[in-house]
Amino acid sequence: MEKTLEQIEKDVLDMIRTCYDPEIPVNIYELGLIYEVNINEDFDVHVLMTLTSPSCPVAETLPPDVEEKIRSVDGVKSAKVEITFEPTWDQSMMSEEAKLELGFL
C-alpha cells in the first residue's frame, strides 16, 4: 500500500528524532536545530537545519547522517539537508522536553 504524504512526514520526523548532537544528549528535532521539513508530491525531502554553532565539530558529518537516515524511510525518494545559520540557534529554540532534560526548567 502506498504511503500518504502525511504518513511520510510523520515517519521522516520520527527518523529525525533518532539523530543526536553528540555533545548534547537530546535529539536534533527537540533541540530546535530543524527549521523546515518540506516534502513534495514525489516524496523528495528537503530539510533546512542549523547547528548549535558554526564551529560545531559535527558540521561535516551530521548533515549527511541526517540525509542518510531520511533516505532510509520507506517511501522517501530523495533527501537533501541544507545548513543555515540564519537565524542563529539559541537555547530558546529547544522544546520544553529538551529544556527539562538538560535541566533548564
Neighbours of 40 (CB within 10 A): 11
64 in a domain, yes or no? Answer: yes
How many domains is the chain partitioned into structurally?
Answer: 1
Strands 44-49 vs 78-83: parallel, antiparallel or unpaired: parallel
Q: How far apart are CA 11 and CA 51, in angstroms?
A: 22
CB 26, CB 101: distance < 8 Å:
yes
57 in a domain, yes or no? Answer: yes
To the question of pTM greater than 0.85 for the whole model, the response is yes
91 in a domain, yes or no? Answer: no
Residue 93: its pLDDT value, please?
95
CATH of residue 39's domain is: 3.30.300.130
Per-residue pLDDT of the chain (105 residues; tens, 9 = 90+): 688 999 999 999 999 999 998 888 899 999 999 999 999 999 999 999 999 888 888 888 999 999 999 999 999 999 999 999 999 999 999 999 999 988 987
Residue 1: its pLDDT value, please?
67
Q: How far apart are CA 24 and CA 21, in angstroms?
A: 5
**Range(s) of the domain holding residue 40:** 5-86
